[in-house]
Amino acid sequence: MPTVYVTRKTHFNAAHRLHNPDKSEAWNEEMYGPCNHPNWHGHNYELEVTVAGEPDPETGYLIDLGVLKSIIHERVVDKVDHKNLNLDVDFMDGVIPSTENFVIAIWNELADALPSGRLHCVRLYETPRNYAEYRGE
């Protein structure tokens, strides 16, 4: 059977502050600029989750997209939407919430939750022009 790639796209809003507590305030300001603002800043994130595998011969589905939507919301969106990534999100605890680190953390939340197929790619848009993508190890 051929491999098919199915993608579900969703969005959420979240605030964060890029800050390394092991570095000085001057280092953080120089490294992160306005993204280090002590009162946080926010993004309108777009998230794409791609699952790979073979369609089920009985249903024609690789994965039911309604099920995938529910998993993404339960494991990620419900935990991060309108939240502060630095303060409110358990799976980001102790992690500098750059887009790169955030996309890896999202992968880790989803990787073992799929009932069929395998997680192929997580793409996270921080802005319409900037995104990070993770495909596992």
Domain positions in the chain: 4-134
Name the residues annotated as catalytic.
Answer: 35, 82, 126
**CATH superfamily membership of 4-134:** 6-pyruvoyl tetrahydropterin synthase/QueD (3.30.479.10)
> What's the burial of 125, exposed, middle or buried (CB within 10 Å: 0-12/13-18/19+)?
buried
pTM (2 d.p.): 0.96
Which tokens sit at 103?
Answer: 């996309």
Instruction: Give me the mean pLDDT over the 78-94 stretch.
Output: 98
Q: What is the pLDDT, as a whole number, of residue 54? A: 97
- Assess contact for 84 and 18: CB atoms under 8 A: no
Q: What is the pLDDT, as a whole number, of residue 64? A: 97
Confidence of residue 137 (pLDDT cuts 50, 70, 90): confident
